[in-house]
């Protein structure tokens, strides 16, 4: 029996791990225990997804709710270490680049437990990002590196990783969007938010580099200008909401600009599918936009997902250029080649590989 400990903590990690867990469960030789660190804890950032996927709770919730990163990281390492010592897993599975991932990787390596890193090999080449530091450390501590794209594989090869450790089975988010797209109910969604198909923009922002006084003000200024031309819905990430409260930004909504609570996963796919265009700084949302043939305006200086950029299905912009980008790409047609992200069977392939280790 292969004893796997999966460690997650944030919204996108619940979404991706659910897809793989469904496949791992089919295998009698594998026992997976899911630990949620509690990095994300609001109902709309966590429990809503467990409910949508029909999982009531993770096996263990560490409930670590600290906004100070140093405290968060040190407590996470301690608590994950305790779980590893108790459960003595054969492998630890971690996802992406969050603080939960970094802490799990560190605790696993201290305990000499082998790590499987999913969504490995991504690089922004900007070490000012906590996420870039987290993913580099995690990659270097991992036994197996599951990359979502060929470009991610090349990044690792250039850094000297051995090819035999790298597995390119595709992006679990493509599996997820394929699986859940057919649960979308556009009519209900459009009615609920008073929207028309292809006549609104979905906006999401949460990156640390955007959530400071000057940049957030610049973004909102551009968004308000844009709302004179098209409706915009803005499900607000708690980090963004908190700064808006601190800055006392109120009453900026208008008939065309609606701020709403974070959406569930199926509603997010529905919003993307029915939108005219996406404005985002999210890694997940820009890929889902591509999968569903929507153009993304990305409010960042760089992106890890350069395949989408190279195919001219997204553009990187400064906050003040958002309106200009909207005009320029208004009628842009997306010809997506999802094959870049695999064939939508990444979960099955990763699960088969894990079985081969048992």
Point out the residues that are catalytic. Answer: 206
Closest approach, Cβ 160 to ligand UDP, in A, equals 26
Is beta strand 2-8 parallel, antiparallel or unpaired with respect to 30-36?
A: parallel
Which of residues 80, 84, 285, 292 is near ligand UDP by CB under 6 A?
285
Q: Is the Cβ of residue 30 or residue 346 nearer to ligand UDP in the bound state?
A: 346
- CA of residue 188 relative to chain centroid, distance: 25
Q: Is the Cβ of residue 87 or residue 243 nearer to ligand UDP in the bound state?
A: 243
Which of ligand UDP, ligand UD1, none is residue 288 near (CB under 5 to 8 Å by kind)?
Answer: ligand UDP
**Total residues at interface with ligand UD1 (CB under 6 A):** 17
Write down the residue that tokens 């820009």 correspond to: 286
Which of residues 41, 50, 193, 353 is near ligand UD1 by CB under 6 A?
41
Q: Is the Cβ of residue 66 or residue 179 nearer to ligand UD1 in the bound state?
A: 66
Closest approach, Cβ 22 to ligand UD1, in A, equals 21
Q: Is the Cβ of residue 43 or residue 330 nearer to ligand UD1 in the bound state?
A: 43
Closest approach, Cβ 204 to ligand UDP, in A, equals 5
Which of ligand UD1, ligand UDP, none is residue 99 near (CB under 5 to 8 Å by kind)?
Answer: ligand UD1
Residues 307-336 that bind ligand UD1 (CB under 6 A): none
Query: 234 is written with which tokens?
Result: 């803005």
**Interface with ligand UD1, residue 40, by CB under 6 A:** yes
Neighbours of 58 (CB within 10 A): 22
First-to-last C-alpha distance (Å) of the chain: 6
Q: Is the Cβ of residue 41 or residue 353 nearer to ligand UD1 in the bound state?
A: 41
Residues 92-131 that bind ligand UD1 (CB under 6 A): 97-99, 130-131
Which of ligand UDP, ligand UD1, none is residue 265 near (CB under 5 to 8 Å by kind)?
Answer: ligand UDP
Interface with ligand UD1 (CB under 6 A): 10-12, 39-42, 45, 67, 97-99, 130-131, 206, 238-239
């Amino acid at each position: 029996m292969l004893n796997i400990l999966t460690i997650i903590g944030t919204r996108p990690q619940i979404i991706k791990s659910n897809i793989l867990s469904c496949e791992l469960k089919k295998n009698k030789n594998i026992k997976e225990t899911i630990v949620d660190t509690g990095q994300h804890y609001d109902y709309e950032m966590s429990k809503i997804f467990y409910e949508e996927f029909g999982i009531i709770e993770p096996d263990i919730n560490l409930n670590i709710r600290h906004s100070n990163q140093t405290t968060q990281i040190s407590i996470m390492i301690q608590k994950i270490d305790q779980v590893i010592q108790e459960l003595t897993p054969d492998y630890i599975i971690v996802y992406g680049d969050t603080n939960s991932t970094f802490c799990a990787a560190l605790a696993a390596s201290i305990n000499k437990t082998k790590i499987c890193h999913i969504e490995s090999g991504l690089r922004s080449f900007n070490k000012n990002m906590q996420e870039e530091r987290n993913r580099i450390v995690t990659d270097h501590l991992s036994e197996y590196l599951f990359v979502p794209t060929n470009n991610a594989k090349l990044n690792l090869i250039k850094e000297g990783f051995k090819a035999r450790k790298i597995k390119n089975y595709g992006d679990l988010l493509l599996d997820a969007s394929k699986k859940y797209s057919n649960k979308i109910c556009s009519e209900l969604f459009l009615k609920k938010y008073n929207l028309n198909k292809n006549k609104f923009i979905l906006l999401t922002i949460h990156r640390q580099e955007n959530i400071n006084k000057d940049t957030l003000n610049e973004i909102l200024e551009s968004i308000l200008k844009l709302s004179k031309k098209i409706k915009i819905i803005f499900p607000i990430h708690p980090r963004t909401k908190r700064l808006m409260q601190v800055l006392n930004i109120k009453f900026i909504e208008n008939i065309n600009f609606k701020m709403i609570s974070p959406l569930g996963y199926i509603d997010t796919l529905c919003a993307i599918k029915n939108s005219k265009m996406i404005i985002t700084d999210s890694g997940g949302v820009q890929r889902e936009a591509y999968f569903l043939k929507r153009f993304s305006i990305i409010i960042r200086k760089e992106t890890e997902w350069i395949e989408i950029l190279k195919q001219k299905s997204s553009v990187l912009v400064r906050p003040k250029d958002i309106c200009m980008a909207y005009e320029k790409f208004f009628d842009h047609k997306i010809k997506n080649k999802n094959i870049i992200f695999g064939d939508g069977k990444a979960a099955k392939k990763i699960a088969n590989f894990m079985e081969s280790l048992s």
